[in-house]
Every structure is written in C-alpha cells, then in structure tokens.
Structure 1
Amino acid sequence: MACSQLTASSISTRNVVASFEGLRPVQFHCTHVTIGNPARRSFKGLVVKAATAVAPKYTTLKPLGDRVLLKIKEAEEKTQGGILLPSNAQTKPQGGEVVAVGEGQSFGKIKVETSVKPGAQVVYSKYAGTEVDFNGEKHLILKDDDIVGILETDDIKDLKPLNDRVLIQIEKAEEKTSGGLFLTQATKDKPSFGTVVAVGPGLVDEEGNRKPLAVASGNTVLYSKYAGNDFKGKDGYEYITLRSSDVIAILS
C-alpha cells in the first residue's frame, strides 16, 4: 500500500494519488508518523503565533529590564473612501501606546533607562515582541530596541527615530527606461537610495554614552535592499526606517 511517511525533521510523500469520482467516498492512504533519519527533502516547520491571554484576576503587568508594554492600535477596517476591508486586506498595525516600561538596561554599574515613557505613541518593528491579551485589549511586550521611533501624529514623516534608527524618504522609481519606454508598476525597479529625513541619537556604549550616527538629516544615502520597514507618507512619498548599519554609503 502506498503511504505517506513523516519524520521528525521532514515530510516526504511517495506515490500518493487522490481521486474523486462524483460523490463516491474517497479512500485515503495510510499515514505513518515515525522518528528517524531525515529524508531527501526537508523544510522548517510552520509556527502559528497566538496572543497569550492573561487571566482577569491579574490587574497589573510590569515589564522587566529593557522591555516595554504597548497597547496595540487596531487595524483599519475601512479605506479613506469608506470602503470596508476584508480581514485579509487589513494591514497589521505597527503602532501603539506605551503603557508601562521596565527599569532599563544595565552596563556594569551604569543603568540606562528605556528611551520611551508611558503615554508615548510609538512605531515598532514587524514581528517583534510577544502579544498579550490583557484587560480585554491587545498588548505587546517587546524590547526597547525593537521600538523604531516616536510618532505623535498620523504622518510617518514626523517620526522621531530612536537609538540607531534612520528615517529615509525613498527616491521615486523611474517611470521610463533609458530608451524612453514607459514602465508598468510591476516592472519598476524599487530604488534602494533616498534622502535622510531624521536620525536617532545613537546606541549606548558600555560607559553609558550615546555614539552619534555616521549619517545626518539631508544626506542622500544608499542602503541595503530588503532592510527595514516601509511606510506610505501622506505626501505620496514612500519612507523606510532602518538601522544605521544598513546604510551602505553616502552619495554626493
């Protein structure tokens, strides 16, 4: 009998054929789960991340060390024109309000406080932290270093980067080829350079001092592709936030 064989590190199939004839019952081939040597093909398992629910009997949640507790902003359910969005089209929010902060990070005898305070509106990195259902609302516990910047308005160009983060206005993609042909949206090559709008104060060294970044506002820079987080500004420009280490060069 043809079977599917699952191992601890891989899943392989041999001669498995499924047939459907009208409304006849379908006979499934047997499946064995074994632990043994990996097969020829292997892949990493899929991980489903779910929020951790805190029991109602707990009324306070105090983050430790350099961790921060955020209340997550809800995803937009409508477009600006009032059209309802299906759940799969709603963008995952990357912003929230600081609810509580830890005591900070220690460097020997020096203690550095977190870079944000309760009440601040912040933007954080995608997939950072641990989601928690607390007091009936969605929260996130993440490290201070995973917070990209403070954003008190709803326009990304007003972002105040933290630590070694840089906010860049991306150069608009070319509309034509060198031969004068118009490019479609799908064929436009996304540029990996732009103008620095704002920079963070730098990272803290072991002596508790901030080390200034090598780039400054107004610099035109080249940065690594696929780095950072992209945002759409109200002015029609695209922006990206990334670490200063992802900036490759200054153009002039």
Structure 2
Amino acid sequence: MATTQLTASSISTRNVASFEGLRPIQFPCAGLVRIANPTRRSFRGLLVKAATVVAPKFTAIKPLGDRVLVKIKESEEKSQGGILLPTTAQTKPQGGEVVAVGEGKTIGKSQVEISVTTGAQVVYSKYAGTEVEFNGTKHLILKDDDIVGILETEDIKDLKPLNDRVLIKVAVAEEKTAGGLLLTEATKEKPSIGTVIAVGPGPLGEEGKRKPLAIAPGNTVLYSKYAGNDFKGKDGSDYVTLRSSDVMAILS
C-alpha cells in the first residue's frame, strides 16, 4: 500500500502551535505526519496543578498585652418563629465567650489589667479583631478596648458597658410628617435621640485611673447619627452602643 509523507512544502504551517513533550500522531493510512519548523509559541515551564491549603493545627493561643481571645457565638440558623434562615439573612454574631486574656498594658507607671476575665460573655465592636480558627471553632483576637460590654443574658438591655461605652435605647422614629402624611419604613429618618440605659466606668487616665463619665442612666441624649453598633432588644426596641465621645448633648 502506498504511503504519503507530508512536508513543509506541501502543507501550510501558519498559526500552528508547538506543544513540547506531546507524542506525534500516527495515521494508519497516511503514515507519520511531521511538520517542519512551524511558527512556535513555547509553553515551556508552564505547570498547572491544584492548590492545596494546609491549615496549621493549633492547640492553644495565648493573647499578649491588652488582647483578648474570644470564642465566637454561632449565628442563629432559625428565626424566633422557627423559620430556617438563608446564610445572607443570618445575624452576624457580635458576641462570644472569653477563653484567654493577656497580661494587660502599662499606662504611665501603672499596670492595668484586662477589664474582663475568662468565662465572661461579651459583646464586641462589629468589625473588631482578627478571626482565627483552631480545633474546628472560630475565635477572635481583639483588643480589650474593642469589647463593648458584658452580657450575661440574651437581651441587649442587660448589657454592662465597659470603659467609655454607653448603652442607649433609641427613640421611636416618627411615623408621620409635620403635615400628617404617613411615612414608609424607607423614608423614616433614623433618630439620633435616645435614653441612656447604662454607662461604663469611664476611660483610663494617664495614671491608669478611671475618669467617670458625665452621662448617667436616665439622661436623654443626642448622639452622632451613624456612630456605634445597633442591636435589637427582645421587646423589639432598638438599642445602640457607642463611645461617650459620640454623645453630643444631654437634652432636658
């Protein structure tokens, strides 16, 4: 049987890529097909492989300085009525249990201890700290000052603020305009007035001593509109925790 050999003179080699390491293709009828000196696009050195992430295994974490290690409380997967919530609708946790604390920090000549102890149930600022995972559980390492307060119940109104934090029950938004028009939820202006429920012991001074706040429970205050962290109480009321510096005035 006659065979046919194709050479560069009988076949166009334009736009033919070279893949080094591939074996020639043999055709039973045409014999061995060889292409002489094609225009080459080299793929030498290209290596593709699946990425493998090896997570280190931690058995213990010891916070340093004024840092605290908190075991994050898991998000609720169901609503109070038992409805399964999608991931996007689950409430992002802002609380957890203190599992380890640092040695504190030095202010002037005074050594100041961490304001919380191991086992305390705490609430922290929404975007505070660095999340770590070990032993299959999510934890957060954050500064002592990022802890908003201690919460021993499931109701935010029972929060005990720390440092210069203040817990405020937000005034109810107006449902009607001055002209009597009913406002929708989207057009209701977020109120920045509320009643102080609890206050922290105050910020640390240069000598490591607490300076009491000028705000007291029961005060009606005006605060910065977008300050602090918002919470929903068991009674359906809105609460906000913020620093005392975000309170602009006491109303009477």
The two structures have a TM-score, normalised by structure 1, of 0.77
Could you say what secondary structure the match of 1:210 adopts?
coil
Q: Deviations over 1:170-199 (max 9, x none)?
A: 000011111112111111111101000000
Query: How far did residue 248 of structure 1 move?
Result: 0.2
Could you say what secondary structure the match of 1:88 adopts?
helix
Q: Contact 1:111–1:208 at 8 Å: present in 2 too?
A: yes
Question: What CA distance in whole angstroms lies between the structure 1 residues aligned with 2:55 and 2:94?
Answer: 22
How do 1:2-41 residues align onto structure 2 when only pairs under 5 Å count? none
How do 1:1-252 residues align onto structure 2 when only pairs under 5 Å count? 55-56=56-57, 58-252=58-252
Question: What CA distance in whole angstroms lies between the structure 1 residues aligned with 2:171 and 2:136?
Answer: 42
Q: Contact 2:68–2:98 at 8 Å: present in 1 too?
A: yes
Query: How far did residue 54 of structure 1 move?
Result: 6.5
Q: Contact 1:54–1:134 at 8 Å: present in 2 too?
A: no
User: Over aligned residues, Cα RMSD in angstroms?
Assistant: 1.1
- For 2:177, the aligned partner's letter is T
Question: What CA distance in whole angstroms lies between the structure 2 residues aligned with 1:105 and 1:125?
Answer: 20
Question: What CA distance in whole angstroms lies between the structure 2 residues aligned with 1:188 and 1:206?
Answer: 43
Q: Contact 1:54–1:133 at 8 Å: present in 2 too?
A: no
Query: How far did residue 216 of structure 1 move?
Result: 0.5
Which runs of 4 or more aligned residues in structure 1 lie more than 2 Å from their structure 2 counterparts after TM superposition? 53-56
Could you say what secondary structure the match of 2:93 adopts?
coil
Q: Deviations over 1:96-117 (max 9, x none)?
A: 0000000001013210001000
Question: What CA distance in whole angstroms lies between the structure 2 residues aligned with 1:89 and 1:83?
Answer: 11
Gaps of 5+ in 2: 1-53
Question: What CA distance in whole angstroms lies between the structure 1 residues aligned with 2:153 and 2:78?
Answer: 19
Q: Contact 1:70–1:139 at 8 Å: present in 2 too?
A: yes
Question: What CA distance in whole angstroms lies between the structure 1 residues aligned with 2:183 and 2:177?
Answer: 7
Could you say what secondary structure the match of 1:201 adopts?
coil
Could you say what secondary structure the match of 2:245 adopts?
helix
Q: Contact 2:108–2:208 at 8 Å: present in 1 too?
A: no
- For 1:73, the aligned partner's letter is K
Query: How far did residue 55 of structure 1 move?
Result: 2.4
Q: Contact 1:54–1:132 at 8 Å: present in 2 too?
A: no
Larger Rg belongs to: 2
Could you say what secondary structure the match of 1:245 adopts?
helix
Question: What CA distance in whole angstroms lies between the structure 2 residues aligned with 1:247 and 1:214?
Answer: 10
Query: How far did residue 234 of structure 1 move?
Result: 1.0
Query: How far did residue 89 of structure 1 move?
Result: 1.2
Gaps of 5+ in 1: 1-52
Query: How far did residue 129 of structure 1 move?
Result: 0.3
Question: What CA distance in whole angstroms lies between the structure 2 residues aligned with 1:214 and 1:187?
Answer: 34
The two structures have a TM-score, normalised by structure 2, of 0.77
Could you say what secondary structure the match of 1:145 adopts?
helix
- For 1:200, the aligned partner's letter is G
* Larger strand share, 1 or 2: 1
Q: Which residue of 1 aligns with 2:5?
A: none
- For 1:102, the aligned partner's letter is G
Q: Contact 1:72–1:138 at 8 Å: present in 2 too?
A: yes
Q: Contact 1:63–1:102 at 8 Å: present in 2 too?
A: yes
